[in-house]
Amino acid sequence: MNLNARLNLFKRFIYLSALLFHFGNGLVAGGKTENLILITLDGLRYQELFGGLDLGVLKATTKDKNITGTKSYKQFWDNSPQVRREKLMPFFWGKWMKDHGSVAGNPKKGSSVRLSNRLHFSYPGYSEILTGQARDDLITSNKKVLNPNPTVLEFIRDKLNLKQNEVAAFASWDVIGFAVQHEAGAIFANSGYEAYVHPSPDIQRLSQLQFEMLTPWDTVRHDEVTFKFAMAHLKSYRPRVLYLSLGETDDWAHDKRYDRVLSAISRFDSFFNELWGWLQSDSQYNNKTTILITTDHGRGDIPLNWHSHSAQIKDSKNTWLAVVSPDSLLRGEWGDGAPVVMNQIAATLCKFIGLDYSEQNPKAGKPIIQLFE
Ligand SMILES: [Zn+2]
């Protein structure tokens, strides 16, 4: 072998090694993400997210049919779906999706995000998100039982060797405290009507107040309380992984209170604004945090069944997913492309932080590759 041939062989070796290093473990080389925030908005329909106020639903829920006289119409209606959705979520559309992130799941653009579980209610949806796999054989109800499988939150805590309160979940619905972990206490969880111990007197007072200012539901506290606890925890204990699970959109919908569904969505947008403002101001989180926002299921599409969701109700399997990340260059709405499946979320979160989720669950969905292109 002459010198040139040896040099070529050497070059090929270097190239192949680099290729193997880059793609072999499927991880992001040189990613900026050091922190993860997962946010779920229970049963928030893609119809409202992408189109704002749905006039068909407003008609169906306004007793005297005088829709133009309703507060919801005055506050959120416009002929243009783009303007409508910005009225409902001005920060999400006007700032986040414009300058910092992207959102998949608008069928009108040819984008699809869907559940792989066939049950289309909450626990199966949360479990699919948190474990990366639908287990319709194991999860058949919303009962308060620990997740039958280890979750991505437990995996990340273990792999990064984090303290318990550095992987924290705050939820308005009590069942989430069980769904987030396979082993009790594996991560820090505060859910439903549950006291939160924190040094701030304001937070202590709020923790007491949650038991006095009750919602119409025994198992779901106000999202306002959940959000404030999560923000206090973020500032004091600096978690590397935070899961914020908000729920009022689902419960008001089941109660057919469309006006309250819209108000709840509008509040979520204010939460995002506040969260983002704080993250931007903090050196641990600024430009080092990936935020993934999604929902556990869709719900009906027509005025008769918009309030509900099940295996029998068309559109219950259709969801959406938004990502704000210093490691993803996509902006705005996704168009045509391969459908995204909700069982890919766990592996996607891991990939952002440089971990390979297939180590824990080889059967889990693979990372959503479009986010890393
Ligand atoms: Zn739900």
Residue 48 and residue 5: Cα distance in Å, rounded? 63
6 CA → ligand 1 middle, Å: 62
Ligand 1 centre to CA of 46 (Å) is: 14
58: left (phi over 0), alpha (psi -120 to 50) or beta: alpha
Distance 4 CA to ligand 1 centre (A): 64
pLDDT digits (tens, 9 = 90+) for 272-311: 999 999 999 999 999 999 999 999 999 999 888 999 999 9
Sequential pLDDT tens for the chain (373 residues)? 555 555 555 555 544 444 444 443 445 556 999 999 999 999 999 999 999 999 999 999 998 889 999 999 999 999 999 999 999 999 999 999 999 999 999 999 999 999 999 999 999 999 999 999 999 999 999 999 999 999 999 999 999 999 999 999 999 999 999 999 999 999 999 999 999 999 999 999 999 999 999 999 999 999 999 999 999 999 999 999 999 999 999 999 999 999 999 999 999 999 999 999 999 999 999 999 999 999 999 999 988 899 999 999 988 999 999 999 999 999 999 998 899 999 999 999 999 999 999 999 999 999 999 999 8
Please give the distance, rounded to the nearest whole angstrom, from the Cα atom of residue 121 to the centre of ligand 1.
6
Which runs of E-coded beta strand occur in 269-312? 289-294
What is the chain's percent helix, strand, coil content, to nearest 5?
45, 10, 45
For 15-42, write each residue's pLDDT tens digit.
Answer: 444 444 444 344 555 699 999 999 999 9
- What's the rounded Cα separation, in Å, for the pair 267 and 274? 11
CA-wise closest residue to 290 among 239, 353, 247: 353
Cα(142) to centroid(ligand 1), Å: 9
Q: Could you tell me the distance, in angstroms and rounded to a whole number, from the CA of residue 298 to the centre of ligand 1?
A: 8
Ligand 1 midpoint to CA 318 (Å): 13
Bridge partners of residue 242, in order along the sequence:
37, 168
Distance 323 CA to ligand 1 centre (A): 20
Cα 287 to ligand 1 centre (Å)? 31
Closest CA to 67 of 259, 255, 252, 250: 259
State the burial class of residue 366 (Cβ atoms within 10 Å of its Cβ: 0-12, 13-18, 19+): middle
Cα(44) to centroid of ligand 1, in Å? 9
332 Cα: distance to centroid of ligand 1 (angstroms):
26
The pairing of beta strand 113-114 with beta strand 318-319 = antiparallel
Q: Give distance in angstroms: CA of 278 to centre of ligand 1.
A: 28
Cα of 270 vs centre of ligand 1, distance in Å, is: 21
User: CA-CA distance, 29 to 18, in Å (whole number)?
Assistant: 11
Cα(334) to centroid(ligand 1), Å: 24
Q: Is 144 within 8 Å of 164 (Cβ atoms)?
A: no
Gap from CA of 369 to ligand 1 centroid (Å):
26
Distance 13 CA to ligand 1 centre (A): 51
Distances in whole angstroms, Cα of residue 3 to Cα of each of 8, 9, 59, 361: 9, 10, 80, 47
Q: What is the DSSP letter of 139?
A: -
**Torsion angles phi and psi, residue 32, rounded to 5:** -95, -15
Q: Compute, in angstroms, the gap from residue 26 CA to the centroid of ligand 1.
A: 32
- Alpha carbon of 25 to ligand 1 centroid (Å): 34
Q: pTM of this prediction? A: 0.92
For residue 43, how far is its CA from the centre of ligand 1 (angstroms)? 5
Which residue carries 């109700």 as its tokens?
313
